[in-house]
Structure 1
Amino acid sequence: MKNIDYIIVGSGYAGLFFAHQLIKNKKSFVLFSDENKGASQVSAGIVNPVVLKRFTTFWMANEQINFLEQILDEIQVYTGRNYGIKQPVQRIFHDEGEQKLWRKKAENETLQPFLNTHFDYAEGVNNPFKTGIVNHSLRLAVSDFFEDFFGYLSKENILISERFEYDSLNKNTYKDFRFKHIVFCEGMEVKRNPFFNFIPVEPNKGHHLLVKLAQPLPSKFTIKKKHFLFPLKDGLYYYGGTYDRDGQGEVVDPVAVRQLKEGLQEIYQHHFDIVEVKVGFRPTVKDRRPILGRHATEENYYIFNGLGARGILNGSYFSAQLYNFIENGTALNDEVSLERFS
C-alpha cells in the first residue's frame, strides 16, 4: 500500500490546474485519466474578459486574468513552455450600432481596461464596419498544454491511465493507495459518481470545425464575429464553437455544422475545406459559478466541477482556492461553495 497526499480523478482543466497546486506545494499525488478527450481537450482555449454579445464583463474577470498569467509562468518551470498565445480577440462589428455600443461600454470603469476604442479593419476577412480589439485577451495552446502536462505526469509516474472504479474506493484507500484527500474533477462524468452525482451540472454541447483555408490569414489576432477563427498547427484553423443546452449524445448535429459553415462563409469569402468536426460537453451551472467543496459525510472527499465555458480562468483561479480550503482551512467564497446547494 502506497501512502500519498491526494488522488485526483479527472484530467480536464479542473484536474490539471489542481495538480499544479499540488506540484507547486510539493504534495504527493496520482491523477486518474481514462484517456477520453473531454470538453477541455477539444476547447478553443480562448481567455477573454469580455462577453462579446453585449460587451459586458463577468464576475472577477480582472482577478482571474491576472492570476492565470502567474499560473502559466509557474507551470513553465517544469514543462519548459508558456502556453499563453498573445493573439488578442478582434471582434468584427455587425453594424455601426455595435461600434457605438462598444464605445459607450468602454466608458464603464469595469470595461475600460478591456475595450480598445481604436477601431480598424481585420485583414483577410469581411468586416465593412471594422473591428474592436479586446485588451488582455489571449489563447491557451490547448493541445500543447495537455500533451506536455500529461508527459510530465507520466515521467513522474503519477499519471494512471485507467477509468476510476468507485467500487474500489473505501474511506481513505483505493486499490494500492492510501490517501489523505481525494478530489473529483470529472466534468459531466460526475453523473456516474455516487458521492457527488447530485450536483446540478448540466451539459452544454459544443461543436467546432477544423478547416483548411484556401487563403491563409495573418495570425496576429483571434477573429470573432459569430464564432472564433484562429490558426492551429499543420495549416489548420479552428472555427467555433456552438452552444446547445439541449444537445444529446456524441453524434455530430448537422444543424450545428451548417450554422458554423454559414458563419464562416459570412466572414471568409474564399474556399475552405472542413477537415473534421469536433464535439464536447461543457459542465455548466445555472448560476454560472464553479462548484467547490467537501462532501457532507466523507470529510476527505472533495468536488471541483462546473467550470463551464471559462474552464481555463475558473480552473486556474479556483484550484488555488480549493487547495487553500483543504490545506489551510481558508473559507470558500459563498458563490462557488458546494454548500449553496444544501
Structure 2
Amino acid sequence: MKQIDYIIVGDGYAGMFFAHQLIRNNKSFVLFSEGRKSASQVSAGIINPVVLKKFTTFWKAQEQIDFLKKTLTEIKSYTGKNYLIDSPIHRIFHDENEQKLWLKKSENDELSGFLDKKFDHLEVVKNNFLTGKVNQSARLQVSGFFVDLFDFLEKNAFLIKEKFDYTKLDASSGTYKDLQFKNAVFCEGMGVTENPFFSDIAVNPNKGHHIKVKLSHAIPEDVTIKKKHFLFPTDNGLYFYGGTYDREQLHHHVDESAVTQLVNGLSEIYPHDFEVEEVNFGFRPTVKDRRPIIGRHASFKNLYVFNGLGARGILNGCYFSKSLYQFIEEDIPLHEEVSAERFK
C-alpha cells in the first residue's frame, strides 16, 4: 500500500491552490480529476478587489491580491510561466452620478488604492460618461494555468484521472483503494452534493454563462471592459463576454435567455457587428454570506472540506488554501468568517 500525506478531490481553483501549498511544503499527495471542465476552468479569470455595482471592496481584499501575486510567482518557479495578465478593469459609467460616487468612494481609505481618480475614454466601445480604472485589478490566463498545472501534476505522479469513489474510502483507517493517507481534502465545488461526508454543507449553485464572440472592430488589448458584464480578448482572436448569474435555471444545458441577456448587454456597449462563436456555462458554489466554507469533518478528523469560493474563486482559493494548510498542519485556527462551524 502506497503511503501519502494527502488526497485532494477536485481540480478547480481550490484544489489547485491547495496542491500548490503541498508542493511548496514538500508533502506527498495525489489529486483526483474527473477530466470534466469545472466552473473554475471556464471562468473569466478576473482578479478584482472592487464590487463594481456599488464601488465597495470586501474582506481582506488587499491581503488577497498581495498573496495571489506572491503565489503566482512561486508557481512560475516550477511551470516556468507567468499567468498574471496586466489588463486592468475599466468600468463604464452609466451617468454623472456614478462618476461622482466613484470619486467620493476613492477618498475612502480602504478604496483609495483601488479606485483611480483619473477617468479615461476608450475607443470603439460606447462610454459617453467615460470609464473608471480599478487599480491592482488584472486577469489570470485561465487555460494556460490549468493546462500547465495538470501537466506538472501528471509528470510528477500527483494526478489521478478518475472519478473519486466514496464507497472505497475508509476514513477510520485512512485508506482509499491502495493508498494510505493522512488527510483527505474535498474541493469539489457543486460536486460536494454527492459527497456523503460533506453533503450537508451550505453551498448553493449559481449558474453562469459566457459567450465568446468575433468582433468586427478590435477593442484595446490591454484593458478589461466592464459595464453589465466583462469584455476582453482571449488567446484565439475571440473575445470573452460574461458572465451571468442565475440561481433558478439550474439544468445542465445552455439557457437561451442567458445568451440573449449577454448579446443585449454587449450590444449596449459595442455598436458594431459581432458574431457569437461559442457559449459556455458552469455552476459556481456560492454561500449566503459570500465567504468560503472550510473545515474538518465532525467525526473523521482526517477529512476536510474547502468549498464555496463563489465568483471570487481565484482570490478566495489562493488566500484560504494557506489558511487550510496551517489549520491542518500547524493547528492554527481558521477565521470564524470562513469556518464551516459558523453554520452549526
TM (normalized to structure 1)?
A: 0.99
Deviations 1:111-146 (A, max 9, x none): 111000100101221111100000000000000000
Q: Does 1:299 find its partner at 2:277? A: no
The SS at the match of 2:279 is strand
What is the aligned counterpart of 2:270 among 249, 268, 271? 268
Distance 1:167 1:246 in 2: 31
The within-5 A match list for 1:13-162 is: 13-162=13-162
The match for 2:329 is 327
Partner of 2:201: 199
Structure 2 distance, partners of 1:11, 1:152, is 13
Identify the residue that residue 168 of structure 1 maps to in structure 2.
Answer: 168
Q: How far has the Cα of 1:269 moved from its partner? A: 1.0
Superposition deviation, residue 206 in structure 1:
0.3
Shift of 1:217: 1.3
Cα separation, 2, equivalents of 1:181 and 1:292: 14
How far off its partner does 1:73 sit?
0.4
Counterpart secondary structure, 1:119: strand
Give the drift of 1:158.
Answer: 1.3
Instruction: Give the letter for the 2:12 counterpart.
Output: G
Q: Distance in 2 between matches of 1:40 and 1:60?
A: 21
Q: Distance in 2 between matches of 1:309 and 1:148?
A: 23
Letter in 2 for 1:238: F
Deviation at 1:247, TM superposition (A): 2.0
**CA shift digits 1:161-185 (9 cap, x unpaired):** 1000000001200011000000000
Determine the structure 2 residue equivalent to 1:229: 231
Secondary structure (helix, strand or coil) at the match of 1:117 reads: strand
% identical equivalent positions: 64
| 1:65 shift after superposition | 0.5
**Aligned position for 1:255:** 257
**Which digits, 9 at most, give the CA deviation of each residue in 1:211-248, with x for residues without a partner?**
11111111111000110000001211100000011121
Q: How many residues align?
A: 342
1:242 corresponds in structure 2 to 244
- How far apart are the structure 1 equivalents of 2:274 and 2:252? 25
Which of 181, 187, 190 is 2:189 aligned to? 187
Question: What TM-score do the two structures reach when normalised by structure 2?
Answer: 0.99
Mapped to 2, the partners of 1:228 and 1:210 lie a distance apart of: 11
- Gap regions ≥5 residues in structure 1: none
Shift of 1:338: 1.0
- Where 2:119 maps in the other structure, the secondary structure is coil
Shift of 1:189: 0.2
Per-residue CA deviation, residues 243-289 of structure 1 (Å, 9 max, x unaligned), is 01112112111111111001101111111110011010000000111
CA distance in 2, matches of 1:123, 1:141: 24
RMSD, matched Cα: 0.6
> What do the CA deviations read for 1:28-47 (whole angstroms, capped 9, x no partner)?
00000001111100000000
In 1, the alpha carbon distance for the partners of 2:155 and 2:249 equals 38
Q: 1:85-126 deviations in whole A, cap 9, x for unaligned?
A: 010000010111110110111111111110001001012211
Distance in 2, Cα, partners of 1:230 & 1:139: 10
In structure 1, give the amino acid aligned to 2:335: N
Tell me how far apart the structure 2 counterparts of residues 49 and 176 of structure 1 sit (CA, whole Å). Answer: 44
C-alpha distance in structure 2 between counterparts of 1:27 and 1:36, whole Å: 26
Q: Choose the corresponding residue for 1:341, options 305, 326, 343.
A: 343
Tell me how far apart the structure 2 counterparts of residues 256 and 328 of structure 1 sit (CA, whole Å): 45
